[in-house]
Amino acid sequence: MYSFKDNYFMQRERLVNEQLKPLGIQDPRVLKALCEVPRHLFVPEDYRDLSYEDSPLPIGYNQTISQPYIVALMTESSQLQPFYKVLEIGTGCGYQAAILSRLCKEVYTVEIIEPLARKAQQTLESLKYTNIHVRIGDGYEGWPEEAPFDIIMVTAATESIPLPLINQLRVGGKLIMPIGHESGQQLVRITKTPAGIEEEYLALVRFVPMTGQVEK
């Protein structure tokens, strides 16, 4: 695993103490993960100096790395346990998967844009994240052969909840995702119960739209 006591460690601590804690992120495990994972190695070199600002950054192919607060909020809202198996839809650069991997047993992450998936896998392997599995494919379909999942996290917006993802969630599991148009989205936490699903609205957000099967 990457040694997090690098030249950027104080910037990560400052981000946590001056940005994330005042915004309400409280879970010490989540804050520790944000201090440990080297976000600057997941962004293009042109943006490296901005790595520890609380803002999204472009990573190519009209995609972004989410702002640290949103990463922290989605992670905290997942209420992860060390034995959980997590499915992430939208690998991007791999940063969110790296955060998740420090708080659960296994992360399965799907990315539809092949160059992003390959770059993310390369970065994660170079940093020795051994419990993250990357697949190139349409996230709408999930990863059925590894289901059921305790948590499913979607990092792209849709107007409705993809049914395959609900089917791959265990009863009692949670799906965290943005719902809505690009101009207006709600971050939603969906809990699967024996009787159906329960929805909680967490925050107003703005994510790139999901592509692939969901567009048809």
- Specify whether the CB–CB gap between 162 and 169 falls below 8 A: no
Cα atoms found within 13 Å of the Cα of residue 107, Cβ hemisphere only: 29
**Mean pLDDT estimate for the chain:** 92
170-198 per-position pLDDT tens digit: 999 999 999 987 678 899 999 999 999 99
User: Of residues 3, 51, 55, 66, which has the active-site annotation?
Assistant: 66
> According to CATH, what is the number of the domain 9-215?
3.40.50.150
Angle between helices 28-36 and 68-78 (to 10 degrees): 140
82-116 per-position pLDDT tens digit: 999 999 999 999 999 999 999 999 999 999 999 99
Task: Enter the pTM of the model.
Answer: 0.92
- Catalytic residue check, 51: no
Task: Locate the domains of the chain by residue range.
Answer: 9-215
Highest mean pLDDT among 5-14, 99-108, 160-169: 99-108
pLDDT score at 211: 82
CA distance 214 to 198: 22
Name, in order, each residue with C-beta under 8 angstroms of 71's C-beta and a sequence gap of 6 or more: 34, 95, 96, 99
- Specify whether the CB–CB gap between 213 and 141 falls below 8 A: yes
pLDDT score at 181: 79
* Coil/strand/helix, residue 82: coil
Please say if the pLDDT value at position 5 is more than 80: no
Percent above pLDDT 90 for the chain:
81
